[in-house]
Structure 1
Amino acid sequence: MISYAFPYFLIAIVPIVGIFLYIRKISRSALRELKRLENVSRSPWFCHLTATVQGLATIHAYNKTEETVNRFESLLDKNSVISFLFRCSMRWLGVRLDSVSIILATVTALLVVSTHGSIPPALAGLALTSVIEGLEPEAPLTVKETAPPESWPVEGRVQFQKYNMCYREGLPLVLKHVSFSTRPSEKVGIVGRTGSGKSSLGVALFRLVEAASGSISIDNVDISTIGLEDLRSKLSIIPQDPVLFVGTVRYNLDPFKQYSDDQIWSALERTHMRESISGLQHQLEAPVVENGDNFSVGERQLLCMARALLRHSKILILDEATAAIDPETDNLIQTTIREAFSDCTMLTIAHRLNTVLTCDRILVMEDGELNVH
């Protein structure tokens, strides 16, 4: 479209394409290897931390504290170095891609100005608009013809049918021929190495990425046929990094003002947070700073659980929700889950094996495939 409006644009596009291809060539392999190394170096660190917590009495008995700490610091340093390099590389790539986009937009704008009066204004505007297009459109929020009833899902039965998914066309599949189904209110644990595809199951359920093939059904409704809002409003997730927004406690629990104070306090009671919130000066109106930094990680997790409990979603996903907290808080959260979400279907993506020991069933993921069912 731009070249049709401005034939001279073809002269400028050649060096721009050359710059882009050069950036792509030198960054693609480096980023792929850095991400692989980061994933590989993360597992020993987590495993060492888990083994240390579980064997703390033995470590003290044999006076191995210093050796254990040194080993932990060594593993952490290795992971931190690679993680830092990966993030620097991503920032390097982002700056250069943004620069290419700016050059493209600038050249187009200059051509619009320099050819003023020689082409129709509508065509010039269309060409300039084309510069900022290119994002793949998201699926519609609602589809009236296939909208599920308000009460859906009733049972919370989830079924994956020969499901395949990749994050972008041309990339390898991250989920390969995954097939399993859950019973109503079943608690399913999902374990596997880093990069095995555990978290991709949650991505697939929320349709953050569309399927390459296969299907996912909830209560016999194919989720690819309904709107994103109809789907996501019926699901809840508690991620590894709990998300709290700037505002108040009430706003974080009930952003759309759908619930009464009694319902909010009841949710806090059931998630063992009522005492903590009632002890704050403004209680439900107490401020929450950016990222919820005025609460501990465990408290943020429990507030996210209270939010999920208020929504009373029939399907709950826990994506390594207790991987970054101490065992005592982990036990409290596990107790909360058993008590507050007993009637929900739960998919627990776990790093610690003890997190899924109470599940009805455990799925083992390896290289995007379901190996043990």
Structure 2
Amino acid sequence: MGSAAAWQLAARGAEVVLVERFGPGHVFGASHGASRIFRLVYDDPLYVRFALEASALWRELGDVLTETGGIDHGAFGALPEVLAAAGSPGRLLSAGEAGERWPGFRFDGPVFFHPQSGRIHADRAVTALQGAAEHHGAVVRHRTRVVEVRPLGNSVEVVTEGGVLRARRAVVAVGAWTRKLLGDLIPLTVTEEQPAHFAPLADREWPSFIHHRTGTVYGLATPGEGVKVGLHGGGPVVDPDRRSFQPEPTRLAALRRYVRDWLPGLDADAVEPIHCTYTSTPTGDFVLDRRGPLVVAAGFSGHGFKFTPAVGRVLADLVLTDAAPEPRWVIPVPRKRPTV
């Protein structure tokens, strides 16, 4: 999100320094690896419009977005109606029709297919965003840890281990480290999530998918690595600086059971666990807001990556204009505890 903001700001002529704690391609946050789902399919028109904007911006960045089509099955509710109202209709299929087209899945009810869904190559996308930012004059500093952000009325100091940067505005987009820099400004929970790559049993078409059930499951093909399958959220709470990167046996077993029950085209025993973090708000909505000289991007709740370039546009607006934040994305007002 910070790289997207740097691109959008530099493209508008702002003087920009992008500060990254780790080196390129690191695995410590939520933006690494080769695959993230891209989809327009939300039951909320706000997110559908935002995904449509992101789709156009991804295409400006080159070869990062691949359309594979996507399917939703289970209790998907009003998704077809919301997408049709947004001008991006999909197609409803019976379980039999879907099973013939995608024999690697088991379906027990109607399936909603949306052709514009697909995958984003995460590592390639971050590299492209930073390259675009540098093309427009931004300076990118890797391996530069920020230890404090000091608002000073109409300016801000960003204190790094190598010195102090002074600016008119600072965009704070630090994922799992948000509370370590900003304290309890935003109610956030950081969890360790454990999707895994499973080996296909045959050469088949694998669209991205969401299975709406008790505990949402998602998946998509990752070329050269298998089919990525994950339980959406619910992982153990973790300190981002103290992660073990070790498989959690109970959740891995649940994931393998799911694959055996619902994905007969995959080998549940040929599994390679992978790890990432979710930084979540209580509602699952993002925070894209302005507080004095700080513009904050946080709480992408495991579904934010697809929106990255559009998030960059919003952050640039908040830095350079008097644009009002989207009400759904403002920092929640702290509530006082009731007196006992």
TM-score range, shorter chain: under 0.3
Q: Please report the TM-score for the alignment, with normalisation by the length of structure 1.
A: 0.22
Higher relative contact order (CA 8 A, sep 6+): 2
Query: Which has the larger helix fraction?
Result: 1
Q: Please report the TM-score for the alignment, with normalisation by the length of structure 2.
A: 0.23
